[in-house]
Structure 1
């Protein structure tokens, strides 16, 4: 099948949606399909040969973060040319309600279109205002996918219709095979905690960890926290006050170091306060063998099955976070049992399974695109 995938966000600042698109495309290519991806990107030197860039993007505040989007006549011309040259059987647009490349691809597509909705939000004034204008465009979509029940709820709430729920994929075997790294390992007396996320984005939850950390140290004084992620290290260190000496800031890390971190720490912390539609990092940590402690936001409860595959604390509550971590550190036997169960659960998110589910939607969209419905 000839498949076109349109990414709304700039490839220069990769995130969950970009990783999802990259991994899906590479899995489909591995299976013999002809896949082409179009995305905003200023730096094209490292783009694979199946990518097309629409040029630089503009940063815009969106859903508690910054989205880098690309729109306008020049971008639209590039998208239309990509569609014409691609002669696709199916076009897969991600986040089509965002004014960027995916929306332009949807507007110009003449073949069957599949969409994926990644975003989850409780309330959006902008979406509420824009939804009536967007619905006629979104009616061109043949089949919809949402990466979680929360993403599905958001799409249905603002845009109507319904969607298949197909989770984000993870190459679980990569994380299973990641070697334990002595830089990140702990002991019973000196356990290690891990955090991965942008330091200057409050919704990733590092301030919650900082407020809880002194209490954790009071019960387990040998604990060491390893923080990976880009941002202002000096400002982040200041949040920890007197406890900062037992915090190690790695800055941005490679994929190999991320895998090693997740396979080595005793507990992985996911204190995100909201704006998450899924929880890829949770599945990665589960695959790697970390015990996951996360906030109890709906998307994370779904991945951890309400605490069956990890530990939850009350969202944005540093006291609850500290208590959950302290209890987990005090019971290594239970941690080991949960880690084993979580490791098995993670297999259902492997790309071998997820890509097959996505491809089944492509086939359905393609086969039903020109079917006439009896009136």
Structure 2
């Protein structure tokens, strides 16, 4: 099958959607499909052979963060050329409701379109205001996927229709077989995310750190991600700062090694999360997880069975839970065991098969399905009506 995938966000800036698109493309390629990905990128960014650059992106505030998007006349021309030259059996567009390559592709495409919605924002004024503009493009979509129930809810409330829920995928074995790193072991807490993006919650963790160190003075916090490191610790006492180690941006391999090494992974995110891919990666690595009780996080962690939850933005509760877990190796081991079993549902072997089932349903081959069976498939995948 010839598959075209559109990534709306800049390829050179790490993010959950970019990682999802990359891993999906590589999974499909390993299965023997021809895959091309269209994404924004800077000229100097090295790209995998399956990625086609749509040009430089610009930063745009979006969903409590800053997204790097590509939109305009030049981008539209590149989209049309890519769609024409690709002769794809199916186009898979991510975040088509953003002013990006995804929306431009909806306008340009003629064949079957599958769309994945990642955003969880039930009160998006921008999406409500943009609906009249989006509607003609979105009506061309053949099938809709949401990465979580909360992303599905956002889609239904703002755009109507329905979507099948297929979670983000992870190569579970890649994380499970990573080798721990000795210098990252021994009383360590891990955090991975953009330091200067408040909704990732690092300030909450920093506020909790002095209280953690009062009980467990040998604890270290390992922080991986880009941002202003000095600003992140400026309000901490000097003796607490000494227990924070910034690792900067890390490779996928080192991310897996970090997660395999820490005694506890903390996800203190404060909102705007529709899934929580880092939680799945942590569980895949065998790291016990402590996360804020966002709805999406609670769902990924099986209601708190696969990882512990603390009240969102409550630094004292975070500190108490972290101290309790770091002091209880048996509880951490139970979380590891449960998480390692639970996480298999997010492996690409499962997620990829579900996505391929959607592709196959919307391509010409689906026309051969008996009418009553086709109705059932359409209901399952949130397909557009004939």
Specify if TM > 0.5.
Answer: yes
| Per-residue deviation, 1:132 | 3.1
Question: Contact 2:190–2:264 at 8 Å: present in 1 too?
Answer: yes
String of CA shifts for 1:24-61, please: whole Å, max 9, x gaps. Answer: 01110111111111111123552122221111111111
Is the CA contact 2:293–2:311 (under 8 Å) kept in the aligned structure 1?
Answer: yes
- 1:320 Cα offset (Å): 1.0
Query: Are positions 1:307 and 2:304 aligned together?
Result: yes
Report Cα offsets for 1:52-101 as digits up to 9, x if no partner: 11111111111111111111111111111111111111000000010111
SS of the residue corresponding to residue 249 of structure 1 reads strand
Structure 2 match to 1:76? 76
Q: Is the 8 A contact 1:207 1:239 kept in 2?
A: no
The structural deviation recorded for 1:347 is 1.0
Q: Secondary structure at the match of 1:239?
A: coil
Instruction: Count matched residues.
Output: 371
Cα RMSD over matched residues? 1.7
TM-score by length of 1: 0.96
The answer to whether the Cα contact below 8 Å between 1:44 and 1:53 also exists between their aligned partners in 2 is no
Question: Which structure 1 segments of 5+ residues have no match?
Answer: none
Distance 2:337 2:62 in 1: 37
Aligned-partner Cα distance in 2 for 1:251–1:345: 30
Q: 1:272 aligned to 2:269?
A: yes
| Residues 1:217 and 2:216 are matched in the alignment | no
- Is the CA contact (8 Å cut-off) linking 2:122 and 2:157 kept in structure 1? no
Where do 4+ consecutive residues of structure 1 move more than 2 Å? 239-242, 367-375
1:294 aligns with 2:327: no
Deviations 1:241-276 (A, max 9, x none): 341111111111121211111001000010000111
C-alpha distance in 1 between matches for 2:364 and 2:357: 11
Task: Show CA shifts across 1:304-360 (max 9, x none).
Answer: 111101110000110111111112122211110111110111111111111111000
Q: Give the corresponding residue for 1:42.
A: 42
Structure 2 Cα separation of the partners of residues 99 and 368 of structure 1:
32
Structure 2 gap ranges (5+): 376-384
Match of 1:260 among 257, 261, 271: 257
For 2:174 and 2:28, the matched residues in 1 are separated by 18
Mapped to 1, the partners of 2:237 and 2:99 lie a distance apart of 42
Contact 2:12 2:45 survives alignment (8 Å):
no
Pairwise CA distance, 1:240: 2.7
Q: Distance in 2 between matches of 1:133 and 1:370?
A: 30
Maintained 8 Å contact 2:219/2:243: yes
The 3-state SS of whatever aligns with 2:234 is helix
3-state SS of 2:341 partner: helix
Partner residue of 1:203?
Answer: 199
